[in-house]
Structure 1
């Protein structure tokens, strides 16, 4: 099934979390599914990310040269990122036991690349050249290790997605208020009405 890469699919706040969230309903084996199950989705995700994550990427275009070849690396980065930062969001700390796999996955994403990242105004390197998806995911994931990002990590109570809470007072509840927030409001309203009717 072809995925529609809408703005909601990029509610994580950074590219690495958007990728982590491509496993839908993670933790629910009966209903969970993987949007990267077919490698053909990788270039489509990269094209959408180029637009929706333009600020993070410094305007650099993300590309996929060989989707089948990089799929294992992308999945490895995605799963290591989710494992490490889901624990951090839940417990408020990074589990060192998860760091070796995470760092290895990121290293694989950067292997063989001649990049210079982290420069002022060029966080992902030279914006005039394309960046491989696996390298972009690795750089984005590594950036999450900053103390400011770690304290802003959240798990959406509606969809279980990871996201960065960039609100001024760090009080955001949902990955996307227009989707998850409204669904929760509708659910609460439904249960309230149901209770009122049952007490009549």
Structure 2
């Protein structure tokens, strides 16, 4: 089934977390599903992310010409990123036991590409040419290791997506207030009305 890569699917705040969130409902094993089951969606995601993550990428477009070939590298980075930083949110610190697999996955993503990074205003290299999706994904994931970023990571209490809280007072609760926030408000309203109906008349 084709995926509509809408703005809501890019509420992680950074490419690596948007990618981690392509597994839906990780906290509900009986309902969870992977939007990358069809490798074609990796290319569609990369195309959409080129726009939604243009600021992070320094305007450099993402390129995923053979999604079937890059899928193992992408999935490895995605899953080790989710494991490492989901644990960091839960425990308040990065677990060194999770780092070897994470770093190996990122190294694999970078190994197939020659990417020069770190120039002023060009964090992912020359914006005039596309960059391999798996290489950009690895760079994005590695950037999450900054202390100030780890401290701002959150897990949405509605959908369990990871996101970076960039609010001024670090008080953001939902990955997307318009979606998850409103769903939780609607659920609370429904529960209150249902509880009120169950109270017998005095």
Corresponding residue of 1:40: 40
Alignment of structure 1 residues 1-200 onto 2, 5 Å: 1-199=1-199, 200=201
1:114 CA displacement: 1.6
1:139 CA displacement: 0.4
Counterpart CA distance in 2 for 1:39 and 1:113 is: 20
User: Runs ≥4 in structure 1, deviation > 3 angstroms?
Assistant: none
1:119 CA displacement: 2.1
1:117 CA displacement: 1.2
1:131 CA displacement: 0.6
SS in 1 for 2:102: helix
How many residue pairs get aligned? The number is 200
Gaps of 5+ in 2: none
Counterpart CA distance in 2 for 1:157 and 1:49 is: 24
Counterpart CA distance in 1 for 2:192 and 2:117 is: 51
Counterpart CA distance in 1 for 2:102 and 2:56 is: 21
1:193 CA displacement: 1.3
SS in 1 for 2:154: strand
For each residue in 1:132-179, what CA deviation from the matched residue of structure 2 results, as whole angstroms up to 9, or x when unmatched? 110010000000000110000000000000000000000000000000
TM-score by length of 2: 0.97
Gaps of 5+ in 1: none
Counterpart CA distance in 2 for 1:188 and 1:28 is: 20
Counterpart CA distance in 2 for 1:136 and 1:115 is: 9
1:194 CA displacement: 1.4
C-alpha RMSD of matched pairs (Å): 0.8
For each residue in 1:42-77, what CA deviation from the matched residue of structure 2 results, as whole angstroms up to 9, or x when unmatched? 110000000111111111100112111100000000
SS in 2 for 1:154: strand
For each residue in 1:5-26, what CA deviation from the matched residue of structure 2 results, as whole angstroms up to 9, or x when unmatched? 0000001000000000000001
